[in-house]
Amino acid sequence: MNSRKGFSLVEAMVVVVLMVLIMSSVYMMIMYYRDVSGTEQARVRQTQESRFLLSIFSSELKNAGAVMTLVNTGGFLATPPYFNGIYPLNNTNFPDGVIMASGDPNAVSKLTDARDPSSSNVLPVNNTIATPAWAIGDLGIVIGPEGFYVFSVQSLTAASITMEATPVYYSGLLNTAHYDDPETVMGNAVEYPVNAPVMRLADFSIYLIEEHNDPEKGRNVRNLVRISDCNGIAGVLENNDPVNGPVKGVIAENVWDLQLVYTAYPAFPDVTTRDDYFTAGAPGTLADLLTALRVKTFKEIRVNVVALTDDYPGQGTITYPLPLLADRPATTLPAGKFSYKTYSFLIEPRNFNIKI
């Protein structure tokens, strides 16, 4: 009789169970390392974004007011100009924002006749000759004691600039989620006087925090957004029209909070007396800070940032308390599975160190 060799049912079941256990272990290891890899990638991205924020945002802050704060505004107007390159957008229960601009020293002129942008888009100026000369598409600004108007050049002659009908921005325009420019006299309806400075801009930026819900992460997320052209729209965060909407882009995806503290030295170069704005215990108001900006006693900005990094899969029930930061009360981060870090840096805008 022939003997037949093979596995018994019990042996086969043992093999199957062992295979299932091994495959389950391999699968769990794959998922674990996938999550670890995702977390590390998120942390690397956070570090890269932090460096980008430090380099780009801080660079624009440092240059804010270039040309505008030295000899080409106060020397033109009988009163201090409304805008010197920095306009705070302060919040107490939400991240701060800021409007920044810097001028081009090679293209500075002045109005030869008073103008109201709501009634005329032609600016008569003493010259448009520069090195290089003004060109179609350049961004420019006209500044008065009551407002400012940022425009794009449509056409020009040796003694006039025709602005595009749609403004890039003007004082009082912004009215969007969590942010507004509280100026009551809209900059497009201001009559800019004779000798009001008109200059080409090297940079113009509005930095805001945009918040939205991310279903994958199971929580709200916030992005630092840079707007370079509002396209005449007040609600820049709500409008996402890719053709006729504002020109904007995400600078950092992981910024949860941004708090800016401004410091002025009213008796500069004497630094024994200082005024801090938008920080705990500081009594100064926005009106006081705007005065310090206009008369050039403002000197420093302290930038405070809270950044999040999701630990994948990015959902959980852990909550983290955040202490008081600047003028934002103590709060808690949204529940989730992530890590966070805080950092701060001091910026001294180089063009606010000279008072004329």
Q: How far is CA 331 from CA 118, 222, 324, 327, 334, in A?
A: 44, 16, 7, 12, 10
Distance of CA 144 to the CA centre of its chain: 24
CA distance 294 to 170: 17
Those residues whose C-beta lies under 8 Å from the C-beta of residue 196, and which sit 6 or more positions away, are 76, 77, 110, 111, 142, 143, 144
Q: Which tokens belong to 126? A: 């003493």
Output the pLDDT for position 88.
Answer: 95
For residue 24, the tally of other CB atoms under 10 A from its CB is 10
CA distance 95 to 222: 10
For residue 281, the tally of other CB atoms under 10 A from its CB is 6
Global pTM?
0.86
Least Cα distance to 149 among 116, 182, 188 occurs for 188
Output the pLDDT for position 138.
Answer: 95
Output the pLDDT for position 356.
Answer: 45
**Which residues in 169-242 belong to E strands, given as ranges?**
169-170, 175-176, 179-180, 197-214, 219-229
Chunk the chain into consecutive blocks of 10 residues (it has 356) and report each block's average pLDDT, rounded to whole numbers. Answer: 63 78 78 63 64 76 86 74 92 94 90 94 87 89 94 93 96 95 89 93 95 82 93 95 92 88 88 90 84 88 86 63 90 78 87 62
Output the pLDDT for position 158.
Answer: 87
Q: Which tokens belong to 3? A: 């003997």
